[in-house]
Amino acid sequence: MKAKQLLSIALVGAMSASLAACGSASGSSTSTAASKAEEATSAPAEAATSTAAAATGDQTVGIAMPTKSLERWNRDGSYLEEQFKKAGYKTEVTYSDNKIDQQVKDLEGLVADKVDLLVVAAIDGEALSEVLQGAKDANIPVISYDRLIRNTDAISYYVSFDNYKVGQLQGQYVIDTLDLDNAGDKTYNIEFTAGDPADNNATFFFNGAFDTLKPYIDKGTLVIPSGQNQFEQVATKQWDTATAMTRFQNILGSNYSDGTQLDVALCSNDSTALGVTQAIESDYAGTNDVLVTGQDGDEQNLANIIDGKQTMTVYKAVANEAVATLDLGIALLNGETPDDKLISDSGWDFDCTYDTESYDNGMGVIPSYLLTPTVVTKDNIQKELVDTGYYTMGDDGYPHPVQ
């Protein structure tokens, strides 16, 4: 069952007035990301705060993020903390340096501290079964945040973006930009770079892109000179930039040093795109612009987009992901069993789908709230990222994240 709730049908009264302004097509809003997040949550957060305060007193939310070394999780951690604090909760936030043992220890600590709710973005989706059993035994509800945690019945909900769609958007961007439907006999060379095999999202991103491009690969319009067409071959442990760079230097050395032209580097996210772009700069002999994809809107990647070194990124508004997590979290803390109605009841000013089919974590399908990602290129950075208040345009001509 899928339920989709859009702003236009969800909002009434005063809220519709303020949010309609926020969603106006003029693109001239000057609100900051913080004020936008506040605007987006003001009604639900205030309503929920008063209910939650009456029902629960001072509750604590444990927020476990994977690492500070991958840019986006710093933003997620800050937004989540800000949202829950503003709604009247205490927070404990951990970052585990991308080390699985460390995250297990951090979660053990949060359980020992008797937090009332856990929001967890896993480093390794397969490694948390035992520690989360401890959370379940202590009756602590767990939200799997952004990355699905596998092989545990301790998590009740999943909040993320439509991960398959992220890959589809990257693939479709390639099709449209190269006009592959009208390519005739012309062929283009493409190489894939995917994410961390321990991250459940990584296969969704890769499959979304690969499935979208497969008809053109089958037809011969797209050619993969390295022959690396399986997720396992193109994966990047821990989404690490240097690892992606080294692998791509090898690919360029083995397949392109004879002057073969590389047309597309399909990278699942920005940290890997950064490494691939570095490899292209250092080791690619060709002079053409390589179409490089990404995901997240990391600061350096946006600068590369402005400079023409990366072509696009798929932006996911993590401020909104935090808002959805807040409202779901409040419902759980109030002992409710949220479903698709959470979306209409919360009146979010962003698209969200309630999905009870796509994410099976090995113990059953996990009900999921999935937000919608957006393609960002040089042409719409201002409109999508700066006018919306998530980034400011610096005097240096590059966008910088507000949080």
Cβ contact 80:119 at 8 Å: yes
CA atoms within 13 A on the CB side of 169: 23
Q: Which residues does residue 264 pair with via DSSP β-bridges, in sequence order?
A: 190, 291
What's the longest Cα–Cα distance across the chain?
Answer: 71
CB nearer ligand BGC, residue 104 or residue 274: 274
Q: Binders of ligand BGC among 202-241, rule CB under 6 A?
A: 239
CB nearer ligand BGC, residue 67 or residue 189: 67
Q: Is 219 exposed, middle or buried (0-12, 13-18, 19+ CB in 10 A)?
A: exposed
Tell me if 295 contacts ligand BGC by CB under 6 A.
Answer: yes
> Considering the complex, what minimum distance in angstroms separates the CB of residue 258 from ligand BGC?
33
Among 40, 52, 70, 244, binds ligand BGC (CB under 6 A): 70
Strands 264-267 and 222-223, bridge-based pairing: unpaired
Among 146, 162, 240, 327, binds ligand BGC (CB under 6 A): 146
Q: What's the token pair of residue 222?
A: 């797209």
Among 11, 37, 59, 72, binds ligand BGC (CB under 6 A): 72
C-alpha closest to that of 268 among 195, 165, 213: 195
> Considering the complex, what minimum distance in angstroms separates the CB of residue 372 from ligand BGC?
14
CB nearer ligand BGC, residue 87 or residue 267: 267
Q: Distances from the Cα of 302 to the Cαs of 231, 277, 316, 392, in angstroms? A: 26, 13, 14, 12
CB nearer ligand BGC, residue 263 or residue 296: 296
CB nearer ligand BGC, residue 135 or residue 274: 274
CB nearer ligand BGC, residue 249 or residue 269: 269
State the Cα–Cα distance between residues 354 and 367, nearest whole angstrom. 7
> Considering the complex, what minimum distance in angstroms separates the CB of residue 101 from ligand BGC?
19
Cβ contact 159:325 at 8 Å: yes
State the Cα–Cα distance between residues 315 and 297, nearest whole angstrom. 6
Among 89, 95, 131, 147, binds ligand BGC (CB under 6 A): 147
> Considering the complex, what minimum distance in angstroms separates the CB of residue 56 from ligand BGC?
30
State the Cα–Cα distance between residues 63 and 81, nearest whole angstrom. 8
Tell me if 162 contacts ligand BGC by CB under 6 A.
Answer: no
Tell me if 149 contacts ligand BGC by CB under 6 A.
Answer: no
Q: Where are the beta strands (DSSP E) in 102-172?
A: 117-120, 142-145, 155-161
Q: Rounded to the nearest 10 degrees, how much is the dihedral formed by the CA atoms of 173, 174, 178, 182?
A: -90
What mask, x for binding ligand BGC by CB under 6 A, covers residues 176 to 195? -------------------x
Q: Binders of ligand BGC among 323-342, rule CB under 6 A?
A: none
State the Cα–Cα distance between residues 33 and 308, nearest whole angstrom. 26
Amino acid of residue 107 = L
Q: What's the token pair of residue 289?
A: 């612009």
> Considering the complex, what minimum distance in angstroms separates the CB of residue 47 from ligand BGC?
30
Cβ contact 295:222 at 8 Å: no
CB nearer ligand BGC, residue 189 or residue 353: 353
Total chain residues near ligand BGC (CB under 6 A): 13
Among 82, 191, 296, 349, binds ligand BGC (CB under 6 A): 296
CA atoms within 13 A on the CB side of 293: 29
CB nearer ligand BGC, residue 224 or residue 314: 314
Tell me if 201 contacts ligand BGC by CB under 6 A.
Answer: yes
What mask, x for binding ligand BGC by CB under 6 A, covers residues 264 to 283? -----x-x------------
Which residue number is nearest to ligand BGC in terms of Cβ? 269
CB nearer ligand BGC, residue 166 or residue 280: 166
> Considering the complex, what minimum distance in angstroms separates the CB of residue 121 from ligand BGC?
7
State the Cα–Cα distance between residues 389 and 33, nearest whole angstrom. 4
Give contact residues for ligand BGC (rule: CB under 6 A): 70, 72, 146-147, 195, 199, 201, 239, 269, 271, 295-296, 316
